[in-house]
Amino acid sequence: MALKPEDHCGGFRHSAVVAYINEKMAMQAKGSEFYLDNIALSWEEAEDKLMAILEDSEASSEAKEACAWGCLALGVRFSRRQNQLQECRVKWLHDLAEMHKSAAQSLASDLKEISDQQEIERRETAFRLRLAQDNLVEVQKEWHLLRWKLLQAPAGGRMVRNQPMDYTEKQQEENQSVPLEGGSKE
């Protein structure tokens, strides 16, 4: 018996179907042999081998029919294997999509946090800049006021060479302006 009813990889669900196919393959020893020899091959290779048997003029019609039933069983097996692989791929892609979704949500959360932090820093910097500008305006006002006061102040002393006189120059000037005894000031 080439096909086993308990073999879930065979692709058949009903034991009566498995029994019928086994019966048809057993009509000729080549049927079961064809199934077992080609179970590890690809579908294309198994089909090519069946084609060679069908074209062989020396093969009996019973042998051809038994190999055709074996090839049918192989086709169902290959189909089942492809279905299982496809299910694995779909599960893998689904898991990958979930992982990407989770990563995207995490990145979006991180991006929002960074954006919020940058907005706070931007506002703090703008506030400090406005404060510095306000301080600069006040300092400029004070500078202009002091300059105006300086320009408005009565000249209490002469400016020599655009510099205030020091004490010795002031004293010398006063001494020269004091009249000498018995003489007049020139």
Where do the domains of the chain lie?
Answer: 8-101
Question: Which residue is it, tokens 């069946």?
Answer: 50
Question: Residue 160: helix, strand or coil by DSSP?
Answer: strand
Look at residue 109 and tell me whether its pLDDT is greater than 60.
yes
186 pLDDT band, cuts 50/70/90, is very low
Determine the Cα–Cα distance for residues 47 and 76; give it in Å rounded to an integer.
Answer: 13
pTM of the model as a whole: 0.54
Residue type at 30? K
Is pLDDT larger for residue 162 or for residue 116?
116
* CA distances (Å), origin 69, targets 12, 47, 58: 14, 12, 19
